[in-house]
Amino acid sequence: MDPVKVGVLGLGTVGGGTVNVLQRNAEEIARRAGRGIVVSHAAARDLNKPRICDTSGIQLTTDPVDVVNDPDIAIVIELIGGDKLAYELVMKAIENGKHIVTANKALIAKHGNEIFSAAQDRGVIVAFEAAVAGGIPVIKAIREGLAGNQIEWLAGIINGTGNFILTEMRDKGRDFDDVLKEAQALGYAEADPTFDVEGIDAAHKLTILASIAFGIPLQFDAAYTEGITRITREDVTYAEELGYRIKHLGVTRRTDRGVELRVHPTLIPERRLIANVDGVMNAVLVKGDAVGPTLYYGAGAGDEPTASAVVADVVDVVRVLTSDPENRVPHLAFQPDSLSDLPILTMSEVETSYYLRMQAKDEPGVLADVTRILGDKGISIEAIIQKEPADDSSEAVVILLTHEVLEQQMDEAIEQIEALATISGHVTRIRMERLDAS
């Protein structure tokens, strides 16, 4: 049988890695897919740029529309990123009857509902394993491997760049900007690295995971997004003294009132496996009612780890080219006419526990005022430490861990604490998750 011809849009880090893996493992991949797979056409913005892959034998163009319109191509692999040109190209490719494989989380999180509907109408597949957690096959695990469960919650370290920065800052005392530059040089960071450090990239990925876990439409605009830029070395140190690690987590949980969908720095007990996921590695902890907690771990970014997921999707598409087209795995795990309209909760409706850090005048009664305000809001304290003022200061640092409370109550308490004459500046708040089996 003739090999299946695929076209690649974008020959950067992931595009180059994908060509390399497809070429290097061609024989093994063909044995798995039942057909050979060849990259016959590829588009790149600058054809003179040095590449990490060998493009001999591939027809090259600077116009991606040439690839999307190429009648010989059955599968278009979209690896240019962004959600504007990529959106137009993917929609055009679907119209042309091409199957799509993409690593583009922004595209899926923002336009997935529309793209899947167009794909359904045209009878083509849109596969996007590489969009979440790089090389970890977590979409397949949730969509297929956990299909018998009600997913209760999931929490993940889903931005490799952010985790790399936090790890290097903690372990080596390195500077934020310096580590970010290294992550960019290693090809981990987004074209706009604020997407990594402000939590937007993680929110794209969490949006996708929540839809697959709970069978809800993709709702990126409803996600709460907070990045790692305000985490200081002292917060990392105090958290460790209390037995916690600070990780940037995406958390989504089904509650009686709706779905939590939030991305923010989080204190996690250091004994949890996920608290020890360092560097560019990602991990997603998924709690199903039947299976209990399950953990998926692996490289979250980089050329070949991401290519691993892209190529697996290409193999899946090639396998189903010959099977019953009406019996495919649904894009969002649940049949499109069975999606649920569970509301996404606003952040003030979320219940969680907190780490609070504040600068307090070293005077009698200060702690009593703070604990009274918390008590009046029904917030109970789990731990408290006070650091004596440095020699040249009259202010002590107070760190508190609280039990779970509605974020609305915490917002009001923080406002009152910040208004105390004995507290200076803002109260630093980092949410905490126990991530235990319950």
Q: Which residues are catalytic?
A: 205
189 interacts with ligand HSE by CB under 6 A: yes
Q: Are 180 and 165 spatial neighbours (Cβ–Cβ below 8 Å)?
A: yes
168 interacts with ligand HSE by CB under 6 A: no
Whose CA is closest to 386, among 255, 214, 241? Answer: 241
Would you state the structure tokens that stand for residue 13, as one six-digit string? 């880090």
Would you state the structure tokens that stand for residue 71, as one six-digit string? 């009648």
Nearer to ligand HSE, 193 or 288 (CB): 193
Q: Which residues make beta-bridge pairs with 418?
A: none
What mask of x and - would describe binding to ligand HSE in positions 338 to 357, judged by CB under 6 A? --------------------
Nearer to ligand HSE, 280 or 430 (CB): 280
Cα–Cα distance list, 119 to 90, 91, 366 (Å) = 10, 8, 61
Angle between helical axes of 105-122 and 200-214 (0-180°, round to 10): 40
190 interacts with ligand HSE by CB under 6 A: yes
Q: Are 160 and 280 spatial neighbours (Cβ–Cβ below 8 Å)?
A: yes
* Shortest distance, position 204 Cβ to ligand HSE, whole Å: 9
16 interacts with ligand HSE by CB under 6 A: no
Nearer to ligand HSE, 301 or 432 (CB): 301
* Shortest distance, position 161 Cβ to ligand HSE, whole Å: 3
Of 86, 261, 301, 398, the one binding ligand HSE (CB under 6 A) is 301
What mask of x and - would describe binding to ligand HSE in positions 133 to 162, judged by CB under 6 A? -x------------------------xxx-
Pairing of strands 151-157, 281-288: antiparallel
Of 78, 168, 201, 316, the one binding ligand HSE (CB under 6 A) is 201
Nearer to ligand HSE, 190 or 198 (CB): 190
Angle between helical axes of 13-24 and 26-33 (0-180°, round to 10): 80
Nearer to ligand HSE, 285 or 379 (CB): 285
13 interacts with ligand HSE by CB under 6 A: no
Query: Residues interacting with ligand HSE, by CB under 6 A?
Result: 134, 159-161, 188-190, 196, 201, 300-301
